[in-house]
Amino acid sequence: MKISRKKIALGTAALAIAAGVAVQVVWHPFGRAWKGQPRQLELDFSRPDALVDSESLSSLPRDMLRVPLLRDVLTEDFVNYYEDNEGRLSASGALRRIAFEHDLDWGDALLKRVFDEPGRLMAWRGADGTLRYWALSMERNGLAKVLQTLGTIAPADTQLSRAGEVDGTPLYALRIGPARSLLLAGKGDRLVILSEAGMLLDAEGKPIGARAKAMAAWLSDDAGAREAPLQSFALDAAKGSPKGHRVLVSANYLSFGYQMFFPGIEALRFDFAGADPKAGADDAAWRSAVLVDGARLPGEWNTAELWKALPADPAACATLPVDWQAAGKMLQKVSGGKDELAAQVGQAFEGPAAVCWYSKSALVAPLFMARVKSADAASALRPVLASLFEQVIGAFEPNAGAQKGTYARLPVQNRQGAGGAVLWSRAVSSPYGTREGKGAPFAAQLSAGAYFPVTLALAGNIVLFSPDGTLVDDALAVQGKRFPAVADTMQRAQLARTVLSFTPSTLAPLVRREATKALPADQEALFLNAARAHLFPKLKTLAAYPPVSLVLPDRLPSGRAWVPVTWQQAGTPPRGAQAAVPPAPPAPQEAAQ
């Protein structure tokens, strides 16, 4: 078939257009200019979930590896992850492209210099619970030339555009993804970078009032105004940034938003002072502290009675000073009960509660323990617990009804235990259950091949709960002096102030077993092989470490203040490793404004 010149010309033109589009896509991956329509985010600039003050942010991951346990478990992969982070690489690529196209002499060391300067990194959680959004505030120093250049090249660049202003300071958007733009602003010697345009701008691309004021404060020369985020962590802004690193994390973030049930704990702090040049040795160490509000601690945070009642050899245990009034209100909402339920729970319980994981069970089936004030309170609480368990616990099984094929929950089993203990239990089917359904008298009624023997018990002034009834039986055996307690292996003088403990030798095999169960070889062969190659060797290294405990000071403040905490090891760490964390310094004197 003969092709005319006209068709050849049209084909050539089409190829040229296609080639031009291809070049544009490759050379300018985000060809449309930023139109100021960000995805508005709900954040509180005055209350970050985490805050890092550092002399050099790029050295923070490496300095974390100075803790022997973290160094052995994380190794250099941890550092490389943050150096090769997708967001950082995208920003680096955008800056390289801008420098090339506009014939700028920025060089490849520009981004590295940003993270080598002293700065403050504030982070907020996203919808998935991770620290997804961040703001970097710093003195720009050598970056002044870069900020001055942005204003001249923004009108002619496809990834960079002016996005308005904050208090008279130009605001620039650097597009690093199809739906993501960094925001940059510089004023005087100050530079602020936001990880998402929607952190500051509304859906119409206009600065949000309160956040714009906070941004202006971060850019100002007023050191006091810039230190406002520290107030949410009860730190004195007048003392300025520390030497080395200071890492602050809110308890609300660490507890996945459940801090309302233990408001007496507000945040954790980790300080790294660096080595003292006069000492002639590398004495750099991390120190730890916790922000507590003594006025909101329900009584004393005394954990001695809990350790005496918990079964020995846990993989990990933690105690929390629960606000029982708040817990009662939550139970009232869950059960749809009457107003008196909140009062009954709030008046019956006292002191902290504990949660422990055991290698004999599963990660999804810990043991919970709490204490009741008196025998009279326990007697009054018994019908309340029975009603709550009957109403809240259970799954509707396919053949548990009066007729085959009708859904119902299996019946609650009541029984008496030794020493006058009362137990309520109900089988709840689940593919992740701790017991196999095969052989159980109700196996035909279950919707899965396994189930949880969920159990609640009241023994004296102790209330126990676990999805795995075996752990409740162990705790009752401790009450009857037939099973050892955690306290039997702890120093007597530290029973009242030890608030957290974990045993790597039992925690590591528990995590390995759970990972293996979650990655069956016939369904998740790729991830299972990755776990065997990377996770399991680290767990083996972790298992060599002795038990570690977190100990509070003997006295806690009556108000809101930071107190030092001590990480203590029960034995000798592996050869070549020193103590994971040295003793804490004297109690900090910072207090709330």
pLDDT in tens, 17-41: 333 323 223 333 333 334 545 677 8
Q: Is residue 5 part of a domain?
A: no
As given in the structure block, the two tokens for residue 583 are 């003793």
Question: Looking at 291, 316, 332, which one is the last position of a domain?
Answer: 291
Buried b (16+ CB within 10 A) or exposed e, 13-49: eeeeeeeeeeeeeeeebbeeebebebebbebebeebb
Question: Looking at 242, 257, 291, which one is the last position of a domain?
Answer: 291
Residue 253: Cβ within 10 Å count:
20
User: What is the domain count for the chain?
Assistant: 2
Q: Is residue 391 part of a domain?
A: yes
Q: What pLDDT sits at residue 576?
A: 44
Query: In this structure, are 155 and 196 located in the same domain?
Result: yes
As given in the structure block, the two tokens for residue 82 are 């943050």
For residue 319, give its domain range: 298-555
Which residues neighbour 471 within 8 Å (Cβ) at sequence distance 6 or greater? Answer: 311, 356, 358, 360, 361, 365, 366, 367
Query: In this structure, are 454 and 315 located in the same domain?
Result: yes
Question: Looking at 291, 317, 343, which one is the last position of a domain?
Answer: 291
More confident residue, 131 or 152: 131
pLDDT tens-digit readout, 438-485:
989 999 888 899 999 999 999 999 999 999 999 999 999 999 999 999
The mean pLDDT value for 274-298 works out to 72
Q: If we measure between CA atoms, which residue out of 231, 233, 222, 196 comes closest to residue 211?
A: 196
Q: Is residue 541 part of a domain?
A: yes
Query: In this structure, are 95 and 202 located in the same domain?
Result: yes
Cα 523 to chain centroid, rounded: 29
Query: In this structure, are 219 and 353 located in the same domain?
Result: no
Query: In this structure, are 389 and 490 located in the same domain?
Result: yes
The mean pLDDT value for 569-592 works out to 46
Query: In this structure, are 66 and 192 located in the same domain?
Result: yes
pLDDT category, 505, cuts 50, 70, 90?
very high
The rounded distance, in Å, linking the Cα atoms of 443 and 77 is 46
Query: In this structure, are 310 and 275 located in the same domain?
Result: no
Whether the pLDDT of residue 213 is over 90: the answer is: yes
Query: In this structure, are 247 and 308 located in the same domain?
Result: no
Query: In this structure, are 327 and 384 located in the same domain?
Result: yes
Query: In this structure, are 306 and 277 located in the same domain?
Result: no
Q: Is residue 21 part of a domain?
A: no
Mean pLDDT of the residues in the chain: 79
Query: In this structure, are 285 and 302 located in the same domain?
Result: no
Query: In this structure, are 265 and 365 located in the same domain?
Result: no
Which residues neighbour 501 within 8 Å (Cβ) at sequence distance 6 or greater? Answer: 314, 316, 317, 486, 490, 547, 548, 549, 550
Whether the pLDDT of residue 416 is over 60: the answer is: yes
Whether the pLDDT of residue 587 is over 70: the answer is: no
